[in-house]
Structure 1
């Protein structure tokens, strides 16, 4: 029986050794699996953090672009409104009592460029003011109707080949490009 006992002890000892070896390998496998899982979690977390940061940057950029677009649109809208208001004001100028003085300046400036002008064209509704302006200047010129003109005059040479137009609306149009940056600056302030 001793041999049986001895073999049984040896078998138990071998089983115990195999079990301990298996236990060690199992712990090693679990440790490696945990490390790989943690590495995958860390990697995914870094990827998500990067995606979040990139998304946040894109969102901020989009918000900045949208804000700039809205400011630009508001600025353009205010510029359009400013020029429309100025144009309405200038279109109402012929009803002002001082309009003949304005026309006399416009005519005098036109005569500086075209001194031999013999005809003044103006909108029919402005003829009375043109006659008053010519009287202020001590000039006698033919006054003709030009319904296309408003807020000013067109001087024509005796041969009709040369003319110069001087209107308040024309002046507004000529300075529009120069005034636009100033209006933008005022809007920004």
Structure 2
């Protein structure tokens, strides 16, 4: 029996070896498939993370560009406001300059053309002496108004209508065009 036992034992061992080898091959296939699946999942995740990172970077760049543009717009607005303030200051300095009475006269003539007929001319008290010769020549009453600066107001007969023509008002009316030109001159 010992031979039979040996033969059976060898067959069982051969079968065990064959089953073990098959199990090892199958286990290797499962491990390889799992590794491939893990690598594919890892690659997909990396692509997703890279896409998310790139999207976050684009959002950050867009936000930074928006903040920068807002700062530029604000700075430009401040510069244009400063230009306007300087222009108004320059207009105010005209009042004491030679030739200011001629400017007042021209403003009064333009206002008279716009009104047609007038009974009075109104100016700042500081400007009364400068416009008085023109008012007398036109036969107009001379009135003063401390609130009227750097210009004239002509009052129609009966006081029902009037035309005001002042340097600050003219600057205000032309400001949109002038500020665009100033901005172009400053920033090109």
Query: Could you state the TM-score of these two structures normalised by the residue count of structure 2?
Result: 0.93
Match of residue 151 from structure 1: 150
Match of residue 91 from structure 2: 90
Match of residue 74 from structure 1: 75
- CA shift for structure 1 position 162: 1.8
Match of residue 171 from structure 1: 170
- SS state at 1:159 partner: helix
Distance in 1, Cα, partners of 2:187 & 2:54: 31
Match of residue 54 from structure 2: 53
Describe how 1:1-189 pairs up with structure 2 within 5 A.
Answer: 1-132=2-133, 134=134, 138-189=137-188
Q: Per-residue CA shift, 1:99-134, capped at 9, x if unaligned?
A: 0010111111112122321211011111122225x1
Distance in 2, Cα, partners of 1:86 & 1:95: 16
- SS state at 1:92 partner: helix
Aligned length: 187
- SS state at 1:2 partner: helix
Measured on the aligned residues, the alpha-carbon RMSD in Å equals 1.6
- Point out 4+ residue stretches in structure 1 off by more than 3 angstroms: 137-140
- SS state at 1:56 partner: helix
Distance in 1, Cα, partners of 2:115 & 2:10: 132
Distance in 2, Cα, partners of 1:180 & 1:63: 28
Q: 1:120 to 1:88 in 2, by over 3 A?
A: same
- CA shift for structure 1 position 186: 2.6
Contact 1:75–1:187 (8 Å) recurs in 2: no
Gaps of 5+ in 1: none
Distance in 2, Cα, partners of 1:93 & 1:161: 31
